């Protein structure tokens, strides 16, 4: 089993590197590896250097960071809520982050740190609302997910209302609403990437606690865990990951649902293996999907969020019917 896990991690890391290299090389103007190397060393001194530093590099880094963040956020939320259907896009966390970004833009606060902070606050509020509903009502796991879907619709409606009423918020492009990286800049990316790196490091060190929490409240409490405090910590970290990613990637859907399931198929449910593999697979998967969205309809470019929805929607329905509407876990 250890040998198999090592091979899986090596393949995931290699796939992530290959996806990143392809993303740097391919596009409307193809760059050879030699051109990439010269551009990386010499800076934006010519056309290839300008493309590399101001377009391809921020876009590739955005795909890697958002994929890793959303995948790990989904993995954490599935364990905390005890439901395989949970993910930031399904239960309204991404929508809360999107509303936070919209309000931030409406207030005229457009710096990278302000947008990342507003996105995190919105994601945390949405995630807290879902967990609070589950605790106060004693709702079944399926009811919690359906409540999250309803919250998702409400938050999206509020975001659209703010966009219509505020000219500043209208600066948000249509690509933000569906998710994409064509407008990503280093100024907007790097503050959020720093938050993602810190949150990922924290999540990886708490994998054993996440496994204990996933056993259920009573079992975790009997093992000496302060359940409410740990749940709040994981909720904070999941919201930070999802919110920071949404601040520059837009409302990418289903990444946090698809990737954790794929990771657990290869290495099992233990968080110390599932979390890092989810990060690697998510980073490579989103970057590769963004590359496909760029090339499939060239010279036109499809926002990667549309491709994610096409892939994620059927997967969500498959999980829903496999669990017989969630009654197995209710």
Contact predicate 97/247, CB 8 Å: yes
Q: What per-residue confidence (pLDDT) applies to 324?
A: 53
Is residue 184 helix, strand or coil?
Answer: coil
Spatial separation of the C-alpha atoms in residues 157 and 93, rounded to whole Å: 14
Average pLDDT over residues 307-325: 76
**Nearest C-alpha neighbor of 293 from the set 284, 281, 277, 305:** 305
pLDDT, tens digit, 9 for 90 and up, residues 78-97: 988 888 888 888 888 889 99
Cα–Cα distances (Å) from 117 to 21, 154, 241, 242, 323, in that order, read 30, 21, 11, 12, 36
User: 43 and 76 in contact (C-beta within 8 Å)?
Assistant: no
Q: Which stretch, 63-77, 176-190, 220-234, has highest mean pLDDT?
A: 63-77
Binned at pLDDT 50, 70 and 90, residue 328 comes out as very low
pLDDT for the residue 142: 63
- Cα of first residue to Cα of last residue in the chain, in angstroms, is 32
Structure tokens at 93: 């966390």
Average pLDDT taken over every residue of the chain: 86
Asked whether 204 and 71 are in contact (CB, 8 A), the reply is no
Mean pLDDT to the nearest integer, 142-154: 79
Q: What is the mean pLDDT of residues 167-196?
A: 82
State residue 138's pLDDT score: 58
Over range 275-287, report the average pLDDT. Answer: 96
């Amino acid at each position: 089993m250890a040998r198999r896990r090592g091979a899986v991690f090596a393949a995931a890391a290699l796939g992530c590197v290959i996806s990143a290299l392809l993303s740097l090389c391919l596009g409307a103007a193809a760059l050879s590896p030699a051109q990439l190397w010269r551009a990386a060393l010499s800076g934006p001194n010519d056309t290839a250097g300008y493309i590399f530093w101001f377009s391809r590099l921020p876009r590739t880094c955005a795909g890697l960071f958002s994929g890793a963040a959303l995948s790990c956020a989904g993995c954490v939320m599935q364990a905390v809520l005890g439901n395989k259907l949970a993910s930031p896009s399904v239960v309204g966390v991404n929508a809360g982050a999107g509303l936070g970004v919209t309000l931030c833009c409406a207030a005229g606060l457009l710096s990278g740190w302000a947008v990342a902070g507003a996105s995190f606050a919105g994601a945390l509020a949405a995630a807290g609302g879902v967990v609070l509903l589950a605790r106060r009502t004693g709702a079944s796991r399926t009811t919690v997910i359906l409540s999250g879907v309803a919250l998702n619709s409400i938050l999206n409606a509020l975001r659209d209302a703010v966009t219509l009423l505020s000219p500043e918020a209208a600066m948000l492009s249509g690509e933000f609403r569906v998710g994409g990286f064509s407008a990503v800049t280093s100024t907007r990316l790097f503050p959020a990437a720093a938050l993602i790196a810190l949150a990922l490091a924290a999540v990886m060190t708490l994998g054993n606690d996440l496994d204990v929490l996933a056993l259920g409240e009573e079992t975790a409490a009997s093992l000496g865990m302060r359940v409410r405090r740990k749940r709040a910590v994981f909720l904070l970290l999941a919201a930070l990951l999802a919110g920071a990613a949404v601040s520059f990637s837009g409302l990418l859907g289903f990444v946090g649902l698809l990737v954790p399931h794929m990771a657990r198929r290869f290495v099992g449910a233990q968080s110390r293996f599932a979390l890092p593999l989810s990060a690697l697979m998510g980073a490579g998967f989103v970057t590769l999907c963004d590359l496909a969205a760029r090339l499939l309809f060239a010279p036109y470019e499809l926002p990667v969020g549309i491709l994610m929805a096409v892939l994620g929607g059927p997967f969500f329905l498959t999980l829903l019917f496999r669990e017989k509407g969630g009654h197995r876990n209710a």
